[in-house]
Structure formats: C-alpha cells, structure tokens
Amino acid sequence: MIERARAMNWRNSHVSNREIKMRTSLFAVAAIVAASSAIDQARAADRIPAFDILQNCNAEVANIGTEKIAGCTKDETDAKNELDRSWTQFGTSDKQACVAESSIGGAQSYVELLTCLEMSTGEFLVGKRQVLR
C-alpha cells in the first residue's frame, strides 16, 4: 500500500514537472516571438520606408485629375529628401504611427508621412507661423 501511494505521488509529480516544463517552453517561445516583433518594428522605424513615388503620383493624378504628375513627383521627392535629413530627429513611436497612417488605403506618400511627423512634434505649426509672418 505504501509503495502504491509512492507510485501515485511520483506519477503526479512527474506529470506536474512535465506540465511545468511545457508551460515554461510555451512562455519562452511567446517571449521570443514578442521580442523579435518589437525588434522588427524598431528596425522599421530606423529607416525611411521605400514608397513608389511614380505609382503614388499616377494614382493621385488619376483620382484627382487636377495635378500634373511632374508636380506630384517633385513634391514627393522633396518630402523624401527632407525625411532623409531629419529622420533621426523623430521618435520611434511617431515614426511607426505616421508610416502606418501615410500608407492607409494603399497609397504611400512621403508628403503625408512628413506632414504627420511634423504635426506630431509641433514642427508643422512652427513652420506655418514663420511662413505667415
């Protein structure tokens, strides 16, 4: 009888150890996946996204019909050049939010991205005040 009780305790503790190991393994995998996702997002915020200026401008001109492609591509190129100069000045969370916002609906615009980033830091308002003076 004592031996049977010991066997039952061993079986119960053995199952518990297995469960603990499984839970620990699942937790470790979940933590690794979450960490790698965070790293990917941080890396994405470290570089300016690659938008197709010509495709965006063709779609914009087709939808609006009032702007010439040359004007649109110049605005987009100017915005991208400004982003090249000032990208590191913006915070990671602002970059992530603005990249997502500037890509809504499939259109990807450097002008919208730059405007969003400037508005998130207040630079847009400062620049407007200087122009208005």
Average predicted confidence (pLDDT) for the chain:
74
pTM for this predicted structure? 0.59
pLDDT of residue 104: 84
Task: State the helix-helix crossing angle for 2-46 and 92-101, rounded to 10 degrees.
Answer: 80
d(CA 102, CA 108): 6
pLDDT of residue 29: 43
The model's pLDDT over 82-109, given as tens digits with 9 standing for 90+, comes to 999 999 999 999 999 999 998 888 789 9
- For residue 73, pLDDT beyond 70: yes
- For residue 31, pLDDT beyond 50: no
Q: How confident is the model at residue 124 (pLDDT cuts 50, 70, 90)?
A: low
